[in-house]
Structure 1
Amino acid sequence: MKRVSGIILASGESRRFGENKLFYKINGKMLIEYTIENARNSLLYEKIIVFNPAVNYSVLNLNGFKIAINYDYKNGMSTSIAAGLRKVENNIDGVMILLGDSPLIDQNIINRMINIYSQNDAGIVSAYNSGIPVNPAIFSSKYFNDLLNLKGDVGGRFILRNHPEDIIRVEIDNNALLDVDTKEDLKKIFKN
């Protein structure tokens, strides 16, 4: 089994939500707790979570997680990826980029992608939906410099576009892809 670090991006500003959505309680748990539990219960070798400095993360159970603080969070997602990547152990084979506001990316999806990555030589394993790349994605260590050099509010899609020959595409169900930008999104996700 290849060693994959999970980097949970949790340093956004939640502008559309009106408050820090990751700490909004739904069904008795904060939104970010769903993502944390999914990562904790998965095959991820190492777990890293990236916050901005304004976040009081002491209310969370982060046992087993490394914490990265992104002081440059206002300059976009790329800075959060870089902050998380700087915490990765030297012997890691790859990183999985996870969004803190995607509670339905559960341990089954995470494990499936890690297993596919471990059984193949591809440098990237990415979730896709109807032919479109979506989160999460695993990038092998050969892409770490590319990830560190991303600029602005972009994730790994730039790397995906430049290396289509090195990608294994994993089709993911529509429902698992729902992320939270508004309180209405929360109602859709947790309608059951």
Structure 2
Amino acid sequence: MIGAVLAGGKSRRFGGNKLLYRIDGKLLVLHTIERLESCPSVEEVVLIASQENAGSLERFGRRVVVDELLVGPLGGIYTALKLGDAFVVAGDMPSIVPELVEAIIGEFRRRNVDACVPRWPNGYIEPLHAAYSTRFRKAIEKQLNEGEYQIKKAIEPANVCYFPLEGVPKEWHVSFFNVNRKEEVKRIGPYTLID
């Protein structure tokens, strides 16, 4: 299974390319990449990029694949699944918990589903911290043909299992933290913009 890091966003709320901000001496996206690489079930980490930021991501020495659809995260997942089954995360998730990733992948494999998506007790799902089969591309194609780009709308009718989060250790909840604004980066550690 690949680990697919969605890294094509424009970081509008952040006001600059947040993936290239240093947090505790390391670029934000590298925190995400290295956490995924420490998962035994992840054979390779691939960066899913836009055409405009692909060049800046090649410096990390991982495969960079360009998302030609540019319809948001749904297009990034679709692009990643061309390469095989994938555990998909957003590039701005620096605190991924490998044990949680392994638990989700394990459930995905046991259940032989198109997707295994974490779900909170209130019903909220975490589609950018989830495992997807290449079969899920058909569900995405249907959504794309209908001009609908919400991931949730593709997940709901699919052969999906929901990974219940009420049973996981509370310290694993940090795995879902993502950085949207500079104030959030400051809560993690000192930061600087890197060219």
User: Match for residue 114 of structure 2?
Assistant: 123
Summarize the Cα distance change of 1:148–1:100 in structure 2 as closer, same or farther, 3 Å threshold. farther
CA displacement at 1:19 relative to structure 2? 0.5
* Structure 2 residue aligned with 1:59: 59
CA distance in 1, matches of 2:101, 2:50: 24
Q: Indicate conservation of the 8 Å contact 2:80/2:86, yes or no.
A: no
CA-atom RMSD, angstroms? 2.5
**Partners of 1:34 and 1:57 in 2: CA distance:** 14
1:9–1:118 Cα change, 3 Å: same
1:101 equivalent to 2:127? Answer: no
Percent same amino acid among aligned pairs?
21
Q: Match for residue 184 of structure 2?
A: 185
Q: State whether structure 2 residue 135 is matched by structure 1 residue 139.
A: no
1:175 maps onto 2:174 in alignment = yes
- d(CA) in 1 for partners of 2:119 and 2:188? 19
Query: What is the Cα deviation at residue 149 of structure 1?
Result: 4.5
Unaligned runs of 5+ in 1: none
State how many pairs are aligned.
Answer: 178
The unaligned stretches of length 5 or more in structure 2 are 191-195
Structure 1 residues 100, 155: closer, same or farther in 2, change over 3 A? farther
| CA drift at 1:150 | 3.9
Aligned partners of 1:105, 1:23: CA distance in 2, in Å? 18
Q: What is the aligned partner in structure 2 of residue 80 from structure 1?
A: 76
The answer to which structure has the higher strand fraction is 1
TM-score, length of structure 1 as denominator length: 0.79
